[in-house]
């Protein structure tokens, strides 16, 4: 329809313009496959700890051996991390990482079954043969740790829109954590007696096989077109031959991160809290033993804490993706840290400590469960926001670099505390409280910036303006619309 004004100027209604950036349904499949692989990796890593007594009896091994099988995760993670970063930032790096992850984890799950196939528990050499293959399997699985922890924020940037990124990062992070939650829950159920240990290993092999086949059949390297300006830059960096001078660029980028005070404050705070919290929750059974709680009850407290962390992360990431809170990461992280501090303080006043031989406040299973659940809820809620915060600050560097440094802090902290924790649970109780207090002050001092989100918004508005101008650059009505568009941050 055309209408004439009193000045005889024709005004044509504005036709819909093509979206500046396009989203593809495949992004949900990509996130699902990656999450499935991350879930399996953690489930396989945790194989023997929830069934420690059955594993010790079946393989005739000590508790220290079971602990070492678990600790390979942190030991191997540290040297493998730089290699993962280099691979991830090659051309089609995400697909390369996923293919390597799926194949390696399937091999790791299969190797652990070889002793059961070639010999039997009644053989005098069964323990010796088994230990060789168990350690190899656990080491291979540990090498997959960086492949599931480093790409999380880079995957969300590459495939998802800015208003979806925090939620996608959260799902990718907590898929790995969910593996631990399910492992603590179903492993003792499957292994009701030592002779059922092979059943659990076959379940792990089946899950690894399904995930491997799905990843190999279809896992696109990147979307047909970038969903945001940050994703465009990510794809360009990966295809640029200059950037593929891997080690030199890697060291230069690391130095840039290490000399950025706000990044260091947030990364150290996130790493310290996550690493310390993980070791502390693994000691629930010994912390609560003087209060007459059983191992089964402590296991349920750990499961509740882990599950509530996933729920908290999903809720706060949804909030952080809304337009109102897209520039409120600092406030949201502070709220989560303070909530975690209060929950931990409540728990520690309810149990014995270095300073008190008896609990300061009365407690029962309900209050202990509630305090551990709230601690997990707030700790988990802060985790994905930390990944996104460091990615925002260090933009235009790849998201995988900031995530690599963050998870390295997590693993170094966890590895150091694993040597302190045995027989020092009261000290760990005090340490986790001190760490969360320090982390609150570090976040308070950090200056949060939103370079990536601001750049995404600027580029989107530029593209939309160009599309409007291309429709009818001679029409003054369109010119006025184009000039009215606002640049800058989300508001």
CA pair distance 18, 474, nearest whole angstrom: 20
**One domain for residues 144 and 273:** no
8 lies in some domain: no
Looking at every residue in the chain, the average pLDDT score rounds to 84
377 lies in some domain: yes
Which CATH number goes with the domain that contains 129? 1.20.1250.20
**One domain for residues 166 and 292:** no
**One domain for residues 64 and 89:** yes
CA pair distance 269, 259, nearest whole angstrom: 16
491 lies in some domain: no
481 lies in some domain: no
Q: Residue 381's domain spans which residues?
A: 247-470
Across residues 109-122, what is the average pLDDT?
A: 91
**One domain for residues 228 and 272:** no
Q: What are the tens digits of pLDDT across the range 128-184?
A: 999 999 999 999 999 999 999 999 988 998 999 888 888 999 999 999 888 888 887
Out of 181, 212, 244, pick the residue that ends a domain. 244
For residue 9, name the pLDDT band (cuts at 50, 70, 90).
very low
CA pair distance 358, 351, nearest whole angstrom: 7
For residue 66, name the pLDDT band (cuts at 50, 70, 90).
confident
Find, among 339, 364, 343, 183, the residue nearest to 288 by Cα. 364
CA distances from 359 to 314, 348, 351, 368 (A): 34, 8, 5, 12
489 lies in some domain: no
**One domain for residues 98 and 167:** yes
Out of 203, 224, 244, pick the residue that ends a domain. 244
**One domain for residues 275 and 147:** no
192 lies in some domain: yes
CA pair distance 128, 120, nearest whole angstrom: 12
**One domain for residues 169 and 279:** no
CA pair distance 313, 326, nearest whole angstrom: 15
Give the pTM.
Answer: 0.83
Do the Cβ atoms of 140 and 104 come closer than 8 Å? Answer: yes
**One domain for residues 63 and 138:** yes
Helices (H), 89-149: 93-111, 114-118, 126-143, 145-149
**One domain for residues 198 and 301:** no
117 lies in some domain: yes
Give yes or no for residue 472 having a pLDDT over 70.
Answer: no
**One domain for residues 235 and 99:** yes
Give yes or no for residue 358 having a pLDDT over 60.
Answer: yes
The number of folded domains in the chain is 2
Do the Cβ atoms of 328 and 395 come closer than 8 Å? Answer: no
Give yes or no for residue 5 having a pLDDT over 70.
Answer: no
**One domain for residues 324 and 399:** yes
- Provide the token pair at 301: 């407290």
pLDDT at 346: 92
**One domain for residues 150 and 71:** yes
Say what percent of the chain tops pLDDT 90.
35
pLDDT at 477: 46
């Amino acid at each position: 329809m055309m209408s004439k004004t009193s000045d005889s100027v024709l005004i044509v209604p504005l036709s819909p313009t093509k979206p500046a950036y396009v989203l593809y349904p495949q992004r949900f499949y990509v996130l699902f496959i990656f999450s499935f692989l991350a879930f399996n990796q953690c489930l396989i890593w945790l194989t023997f700890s929830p069934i420690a007594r059955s594993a010790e009896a079946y393989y005739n091994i000590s508790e220290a051996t079971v602990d070492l099988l678990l600790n390979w995760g942190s030991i191997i993670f540290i040297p493998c991390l730089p290699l993962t970063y280099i691979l991830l930032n090659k051309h089609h790096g995400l697909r390369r990482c996923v293919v390597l992850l799926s194949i390696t984890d399937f091999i790791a799950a299969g190797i652990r079954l070889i002793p059961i196939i070639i010999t039997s528990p009644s053989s005098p050499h069964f323990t010796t043969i088994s230990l060789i293959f168990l350690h190899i399997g656990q080491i291979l699985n540990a090498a997959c740790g960086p492949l599931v922890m480093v790409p999380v924020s880079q995957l969300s940037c590459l495939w998802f829109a800015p208003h979806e990124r925090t939620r996608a990062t959260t799902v990718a992070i907590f898929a790995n954590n969910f593996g631990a939650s399910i492992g603590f829950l179903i492993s003792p159920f499957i292994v009701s007696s030592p002779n059922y240990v092979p059943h659990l290993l076959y379940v792990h092999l089946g899950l690894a096989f399904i995930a491997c086949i799905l990843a190999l059949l279809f896992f696109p390297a990147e979307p047909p077109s970038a969903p945001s300006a940050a994703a465009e830059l990510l794809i360009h960096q990966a295809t640029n031959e200059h950037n593929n001078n891997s080690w030199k660029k890697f060291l230069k980028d690391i130095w840039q991160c290490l000399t950025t005070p706000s990044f260091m404050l947030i990364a150290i705070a996130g790493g310290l809290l996550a690493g310390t919290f993980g070791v502390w929750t693994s000691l629930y059974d010994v912390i609560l033993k003087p209060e007459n709680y059983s191992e089964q009850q402590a296991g349920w407290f750990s499961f509740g804490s882990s599950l509530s962390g996933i729920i908290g992360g999903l809720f706060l990431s949804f909030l952080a993706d809304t337009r109102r809170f897209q520039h409120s990461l600092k406030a949201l992280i502070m709220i989560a840290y303070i909530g975690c501090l209060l929950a931990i303080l409540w728990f520690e006043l309810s149990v014995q400590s270095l300073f008190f031989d008896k609990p300061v406040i009365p407690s029962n299973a309900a209050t202990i469960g509630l305090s551990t659940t709230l601690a997990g809820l707030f700790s988990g809620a802060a985790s994905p926001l930390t990944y996104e915060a460091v990615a925002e600050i260090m933009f235009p560097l790849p998201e995988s670099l900031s995530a690599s440094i963050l998870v390295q802090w997590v693993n170094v902290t966890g590895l150091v505390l694993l040597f302190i924790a045995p027989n020092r649970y009261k000290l760990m109780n005090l340490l986790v409280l001190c760490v969360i207090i320090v982390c609150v002050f570090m976040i308070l001092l950090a200056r949060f910036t939103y370079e990536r989100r601001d750049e995404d918004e600027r580029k989107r508005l530029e593209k939309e303006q160009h599309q409007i101008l291309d429709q009818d650059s001679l029409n003054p009505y369109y010119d006025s619309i184009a000039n009215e568009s606002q640049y800058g941050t989300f508001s």
